[in-house]
Structure 1
């Protein structure tokens, strides 16, 4: 029998000394560590790789483009578009690394695009809703409620993330600003405080006092470090008590701060810096979503306003 002109993929893999899945993952995660990626990012990759393997029932190094396509089709009946895209981003990072380092011959993600998703409404809080939350906290008259009021003010004043807030230590606080060290992109930044937040934060520091258990700025009743979950559940509870149908969370406060700054006339570059975005993509999204508000500002401050010709 006459031989084929070209070798099969399996035969080519044999010649190339194809990398095993364990070897590929070890090299990829070593590279993640060398690039000093956050532990949360590395954990995200591990979770998405595990989910992909579980669905496709194949080793990651054996996955082809058609497998990815089948995975997408099947996933659309089971999980959200956002979750699918999150998984695809992880796979793209993995296979791009393998291809770049010549550990695979073909990148199965090369021709795969992220799925288009409908633009979701980003909820923000209005003045009345914010005032309701503050009123409920003040009515409680406890250390926890006052601490949460200060946390709310810091969120709304600075737009910092929950992970950034819980990372703040007492020495990071200055008179009119806070140094944010535990950032998503590893770049420290300074966020500034309004006079109202400065005043309440000064009072909180007096009430907090010096504790031996932790140097974190925000602590629980036992003087230990405050955990993100406690903050999340606390504000969810306040939202229900205030009769607010929207989601009341640190991320909602971040969106609220961004919208209010845009409506007040802040430029995109300033907002990007304050929020700690690595690029303009998300900042532009905010500007686009609240476009009608921007249109009003344009009419109010148009460079042609007042000219007679």
Structure 2
């Protein structure tokens, strides 16, 4: 047999120097740092890559489309669609970067699409549930209890994320508004407070006093507050109040969005207040709470009050 033909795919692999996983991660994370991505985003990439390698049982830079398809098929037996899509988004960013910068000859994610997932109803709290929650928190009569009440009011008033709340410093509170600096998209924004929240926040700051940290919300030892402890405490309040729904920062965020939509806020203003990067998530909120929008239409519809006479 002669050697006049082209080299086989396997033979080409021997000749062409390929980047290994360690080198690929180094250049990818360097780019993440240069783009000033949040530490949490970089940690997300690291965790997802580690999980993918474990399931693929081979280096990521050696994977082909069929390997990723096999990963999806096997993952569907073990984890939720949302979790699979989260992993696929991380892999897409990784492979797109490597292919764009000519570290890979082909992009194995090119024809891989996210899995379709059924849109689930987002739980929100009703008036009675919010009142019951506040009543449960107030039973404590402690600094931590009062702090948690104020945290609840800030969440419901502003719809900020847990990471954003943790990042608030005392100087960021300005009368009827708060400057949110530690945002997901790195763009500072302003959120506004009702009179009730303003009054309670002023009382909290007075009780808080001067401590060693500038963070607004502190723990009982006067140190920075751990975000996990907030989730744990509100889960505890939910149980004590006998509320069947989930109770936490995301529930408060969704509750704020729903109440403002029902009150008549426009989608663009809501998008700005919530810190969404585009309108897609905001539109989803509007669609999810369609029945409430329907009632608003019945009340304020453009044809309401007009009298028509048949010709």
Q: Structure 1: how far apart are the matches of 2:92 and 2:173? A: 39
For the residue of structure 2 that corresponds to 1:248, the secondary structure is coil
Partner of 2:41 in structure 1?
41
Q: Structure 2: how far apart are the matches of 1:113 and 1:91? A: 11
Cα pair distance change 1:93/1:171, threshold 3 Å: same
Partner of 2:203 in structure 1?
203
* Per-residue Cα deviation, 1:71-125 (whole angstroms, up to 9, x for no partner): 1111111111111100000000000001111111111001101111111221111
For the residue of structure 2 that corresponds to 1:179, the secondary structure is strand
Cα pair distance change 1:4/1:145, threshold 3 Å: farther
Q: TM-score, normalised by structure 1?
A: 0.97
Cα pair distance change 1:234/1:119, threshold 3 Å: same
Q: Structure 2: how far apart are the matches of 1:122 and 1:162? A: 17
Q: Structure 1: how far apart are the matches of 2:90 and 2:3? A: 40
Structure-to-structure mapping, 1:225-304, within 5 angstroms:
225-304=224-303
Partner of 2:104 in structure 1?
104
Q: Structure 2: how far apart are the matches of 1:268 and 1:6? A: 58
For the residue of structure 2 that corresponds to 1:58, the secondary structure is coil
Partner of 1:66 in structure 2?
66
Q: Give 1:303 deviation, angstroms.
A: 2.2
Structure-to-structure mapping, 1:1-309, within 5 angstroms:
1-3=1-3, 5-211=5-211, 213-309=212-308
Q: Structure 2: how far apart are the matches of 1:42 and 1:185? A: 14
For the residue of structure 1 that corresponds to 2:191, the secondary structure is strand
Q: Structure 1: how far apart are the matches of 2:10 and 2:302? A: 66
Q: Give 1:14 deviation, angstroms.
A: 4.2
For the residue of structure 1 that corresponds to 2:174, the secondary structure is coil
What RMSD over aligned residues (CA atoms) do the two structures have, in Å? Answer: 1.3
Q: Give 1:271 deviation, angstroms.
A: 0.8
Q: TM-score, normalised by structure 2?
A: 0.96
Q: Any stretches of 5+ residues in structure 2 without a counterpart?
A: none
For the residue of structure 1 that corresponds to 2:139, the secondary structure is helix
Cα pair distance change 1:4/1:269, threshold 3 Å: farther
* Per-residue Cα deviation, 1:29-83 (whole angstroms, up to 9, x for no partner): 1111111111111111111111111111111110000000111111111111111
Q: Structure 2: how far apart are the matches of 1:191 and 1:288? A: 24
